[in-house]
């Protein structure tokens, strides 16, 4: 993957949704990378960040579906 692959292209219909999905995937990869025992507060923080992103993805997907 090149640096250009990280930049959403203008032909994408919903650039914000793509950015949110990319952010969500990055969080999932981070969670998988640290599969060992985590301090409870760090794990809770990572899970909260992922949940926040997932809520944003759902909201944006539904908003675009209504438009």
Could you report the per-residue pLDDT of 18-66, keeping only the tens digit for each? 898 898 888 888 777 876 787 889 888 888 988 998 898 888 888 865 5
Residue 13: band (very low, low, confident or very high) from pLDDT cuts 50, 70, 90? confident
What tokens appear for 42 in the block?
């760090």
pLDDT at residue number 55: 92
Whether 2 shows a pLDDT value over 60: the answer reads no
Tell me which residue has tokens 């292209």: 9
Q: Six-digit token pair at 54? A: 């997932």
pTM: predicted TM-score of the whole model, two decimal places: 0.60
Give the C-alpha separation, 42 to 3, whole Å. 30
């Amino acid at each position: 993957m090149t640096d250009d692959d990280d930049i959403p292209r203008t032909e994408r219909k919903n650039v914000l949704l793509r950015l949110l999905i990319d952010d969500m995937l990055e969080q999932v990869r981070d969670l998988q990378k640290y599969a060992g025992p985590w301090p409870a507060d760090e794990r809770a923080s990572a899970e909260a960040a992922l949940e926040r992103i997932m809520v944003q993805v759902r909201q944006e997907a539904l908003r675009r579906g209504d438009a």
